[in-house]
Structure 1
Amino acid sequence: MNGKQAAGIQAVQEISDGMVVGLGTGTTVYYFLEALAEKVKLGLKLTGVATSQQTVELARKWGIPMKPLNSVQSIDLTIDGADEVSPDLDGIKGGGGALLYEKLVAVASKKRIWIVDARKTVKQLGAFPLPVEVIPFSWKQINRKLENRGLHPVLRTQKDGSPFLTDARHYILDLHLNTIENPSALANELDHLPGLVEHGLFLGMTDSVIIGYPDGHIERLERH
């Protein structure tokens, strides 16, 4: 068992009968979905709300009942991964390209838990490139503004060199920052840039983090 698997399996203990559960995206969430599907086979009743088409397809394959976000009043609990987590439980998300839908599901949730392996915990955010989701119509103008602000944007591309497309048909610019001295100030700056749909700074947006270690043991951090 690796750290991702340990964290994913542990998170299944948080799910109880009748819940509406937000299902995140990514490699750690894969192990969570796999373990959750086993519980569903054994009779656990729940409704899943996915943060990406990739998660929808996995859930369908494994028999997890799903509804779109617009079909539920609220979400009891969302389990998702993160690309970086700081000591105060702020994070960077969006390495898989699902940041917009992940944030929409998160804000619709009564409780949020991130599952990560120990390598995702950092003293300061920023070594992982910060994704920002942008409107294709004006991506070059937004890119130029970000460059002028010293944020080092790089258009995310697919293997064939074409732009990566999110589920919402937007582009992603990854900001290569190394460190983010003031995440809340940067988030505020990005929030006010027209055409920038969403950014991968998730600040104050998780209640707990389950950290899995390579030897299979678990650490749990709570927001105070």
Structure 2
Amino acid sequence: MTQDELKQQVGRAAANYVLSNVAHGAVLGVGTGSTVNFFIDEVAAFKDRFRGAVSSSNASTARLRAHGFEVLELNDIETLPVYVDGADEIDAAGHMIKGGGGALTREKIVAMVAQTFVCIVDESKRVDLLGAFPLPVEVIPMASAAIARRFVDLDGQPTLRVAKDGSTFVTDNGNWVLDVHGLRIPDPVGLEAEVNNWPGVVTVGLFARRGANISLLGTKEGVHRIDY
């Protein structure tokens, strides 16, 4: 199976999960990325079962609306039973690196509100130790050089993310992203707490203090559910 086929099967499994576990009239939390796009496409056929969705990015909002979903503001939602999103890496404890698409801050906010975080990934994202994927960090632009120096002190190799047109990548929140290469992260909870306390950091792409509750892992043998 190709990677896209693996993503499609896990997107379908996530749609089946919410149809079986989320009450009629509830609001879905929807993340960002290529695997989530397959989930959106799969669940769209049942959109009338749900009051609407809360989205973590402008791109996902546009895709949801194109399928006829009502996209709601998180501030108007009291309960969010489930949040479905992908990850760039996930370990055996459900700790993740996220933010390859640049939506890490909004993703973390929606994940904080959700009762259950369902992470949907193909088997290439499962790792024993986080850090092979460069760690995304959303930063206030004026702090980017100072934050980069802090990561160098941790033996990281930070680079400023560049958009496809060669300009500096700008998040939906108007900030920049540092991608930190070369880290090995044996204590993701501790590193998340430390980096989030640095002035100028908006969000670090470690989802460890609020990790996944469930992962749906796409493999050539089918989709495996893992509970944490």
Deviation of 1:156 (Å): 0.3
In the alignment, which residue of structure 1 is the partner of 2:103? 98
Q: What TM-score results when the alignment is normalised by the length of structure 1? A: 0.93
Letter in structure 2 aligned against 1:131: P
Does 189-198 or 158-167 show the bigger shift?
158-167
Mapped pair 1:47 → 2:52: yes
Gaps of 5+ in 2: none
- What CA deviation, in whole Å up to 9, does each residue of 1:76-125 have, x standing for no partner? 11000011010111110000000000000000111110000111101111
Of 213, 217, 220, the residue aligned with 2:219 is 213
Percent of residue pairs identical: 37
Mapped to 2, the partners of 1:14 and 1:82 lie a distance apart of 18
Mapped to 1, the partners of 2:140 and 2:79 lie a distance apart of 28
In the alignment, which residue of structure 1 is the partner of 2:35? 28
Letter in structure 2 aligned against 1:154: T
In the alignment, which residue of structure 1 is the partner of 2:17? 14
- What CA deviation, in whole Å up to 9, does each residue of 1:1-49 have, x standing for no partner? 7211111101112223111111010010011000111112xx4233200
Mapped to 2, the partners of 1:151 and 1:172 lie a distance apart of 15
In the alignment, which residue of structure 1 is the partner of 2:67? 62
Of 99, 112, 117, the residue aligned with 2:117 is 112
Letter in structure 2 aligned against 1:60: R
SS, match of residue 211 in structure 2: coil
Mapped to 2, the partners of 1:153 and 1:74 lie a distance apart of 37
Letter in structure 2 aligned against 1:210: L
The runs of at least 4 consecutive aligned structure 1 residues that moved more than 4 Å come to none
Mapped to 2, the partners of 1:72 and 1:45 lie a distance apart of 13
Deviation of 1:178 (Å): 4.5
| Bigger relative contact order, structure 1 or 2 (CA pairs below 8 A, ≥6 apart) | 1
Aligned CA RMSD, in angstroms, stands at 1.4
SS, match of residue 137 in structure 1: helix
1:207–1:115 CA distance, 2 compared to 1 (3 A):
same
In the alignment, which residue of structure 2 is the partner of 1:166? 171
SS, match of residue 185 in structure 1: helix
Mapped to 2, the partners of 1:20 and 1:176 lie a distance apart of 36
* Counterpart contact for 2:11–2:36, Cα < 8 Å: yes
Letter in structure 2 aligned against 1:100: T
SS, match of residue 191 in structure 2: helix
In the alignment, which residue of structure 2 is the partner of 1:38? 45
Of 91, 112, 115, the residue aligned with 1:86 is 91
SS, match of residue 216 in structure 2: strand
Letter in structure 1 aligned against 2:218: G
In the alignment, which residue of structure 2 is the partner of 1:5? 8
Gaps of 5+ in 1: none
Mapped to 2, the partners of 1:189 and 1:66 lie a distance apart of 34
Letter in structure 2 aligned against 1:134: V
